[in-house]
Amino acid sequence: METILLSDNEEQLSIAAGLIRKGEIVGIPTETVYGLGADASNEEAVKKVFAAKGRPADNPLIVHLADFSQAQEYTVSIPDLAWKLAERFCPGPLTMVLPKNEKIPMITSGGLDTVGIRVPSHPVMHRIIELSGRPIAAPSANTSGYPSPTSAEHVMRDMNGKIAAVVDGGASEFGVESTVISIESEDRVRILRPGCVTREMLLELCGEVIIDHAILHELEAGQKAASPGMKYKHYSPKADIIMVEGSLRDFTEYAGRNMTSGTYCLIFDGDEEDFPYRYLTYGRNSSEQAHWLFQRLRELDDIGAEKVYVRAPSPEGVGLAVYNRLIRAAGFEVIRI
């Protein structure tokens, strides 16, 4: 199949929406990362998404709506706390897991009786949802296991020939996927995947915000994942990623003892003065690091890095999302100095 590249004008967005209505798959920009959009209520279309990504069938897709009130059409019940959170965070990078009804097929929810609902703020994604008149299932538009795409070019690289079209809407603003939460009571939520809606932001509306154990720890054999995506090796470039936690001086010394010809370092902006080894930088603070991380992991593959020592980010605020993606990219290999 030929994958067409669409721009983000109204006429081209109608083409994208028409393809989705016909059960085709389209790469779409969102404020988090690019998504692989399909009609969430069409089983055949959703099957194509799993096939294009090579995604395990038990890893559920998030369903994207134009307005949170539409969640009533696809769920059994919506707790008051969800409405309160929606008022503050929708549209935006927050996904709420809610009990689904029969309008969302089991294949979309990876066999679960719940569905993750998000209302994206990106005007292109928003318009495509409106024009299609469908709930849009959209996982990150990467090959399963590889770093998520933050540009139309990344999507083309992974999906060319496998999907109908990609809409180019420029680089994704946040750069990491949405925060996924489940609602445990009218006062308590659990973060299943950290993102740019942080624990601190949620605490302004919830009495208790639990960070699921699987966010920073490897699941043990046989342990059930609250968030199925946490089971799999994820976000990994071809290069072997090793996180190194410590001061710049400790990091530099450690890297120096271990550098070989195919080794690179991924350090913070501001670290590079006199840094003696081959490096890329990925930002000065957590928001910048979220924005650049996946782009840099892909660039490291492009330049042929075999092994990468990454200076570990702060796990605070948005940093928790960056730390979570990196620790998975590293297969939990962390050197603490």
Binding site for ligand AMP (CB under 6 A): 59-62, 97, 109, 112, 114-116, 139-140, 177, 180, 192-193, 227-230
* Contacted by 169, from ligand AMP, Mg ion, none: CB < 5 to 8 Å by type: none
Alpha helices in 65-189 (DSSP H): 80-89, 123-132, 152-159
* Contacted by 115, from ligand AMP, Mg ion, none: CB < 5 to 8 Å by type: ligand AMP
Nearer to ligand AMP, 37 or 315 (CB): 37
Task: Establish if 172 lies at the interface with Mg ion (CB under 5 A).
Answer: no
Residue 17: CB minimum distance to Mg ion, A: 23
Nearer to ligand AMP, 140 or 286 (CB): 140
Residue 271: CB minimum distance to Mg ion, A: 29
* Residue whose C-beta lies closest to ligand AMP: 229
Nearer to Mg ion, 30 or 140 (CB): 140
Task: Establish if 59 lies at the interface with Mg ion (CB under 5 A).
Answer: no
Question: Comparing C-alpha atoms, which of 142, 333, 139 is closest to residue 235?
Answer: 142
Helices and strands counted in the chain (H then E)? 9, 16
d(CA 207, CA 316): 19
H-run or E-run covering 39: strand 35-39
Q: CB under 8 Å to 255, separation ≥6 — which residues?
A: 244, 263, 265, 277, 309
d(CA 175, CA 231): 22
**Long-range own/partner contacts, residues 281-287 (CB < 8 A, 24 or more apart):** 286/313, 286/314, 286/316, 286/317, 286/318, 286/319, 286/322, 287/174, 287/196, 287/318
* Residue whose C-beta lies closest to Mg ion: 140
Q: How far is CA 67 from CA 123, 192, 290, 300, in A?
A: 13, 22, 26, 38
Q: Of 181-240, which residues contact Mg ion (CB under 5 A)? A: none
* Contacted by 116, from Mg ion, ligand AMP, none: CB < 5 to 8 Å by type: ligand AMP
Residue 41: CB minimum distance to ligand AMP, A: 16
* Contacted by 196, from Mg ion, ligand AMP, none: CB < 5 to 8 Å by type: none
d(CA 215, CA 325): 9
Binding mask of the shown chain, residues 131 to 150, with x at each position contacting Mg ion by CB under 5 A:
---------x----------
* Contacted by 159, from ligand AMP, Mg ion, none: CB < 5 to 8 Å by type: none
Nearer to Mg ion, 180 or 201 (CB): 180
Binding site for Mg ion (CB under 5 A): 140
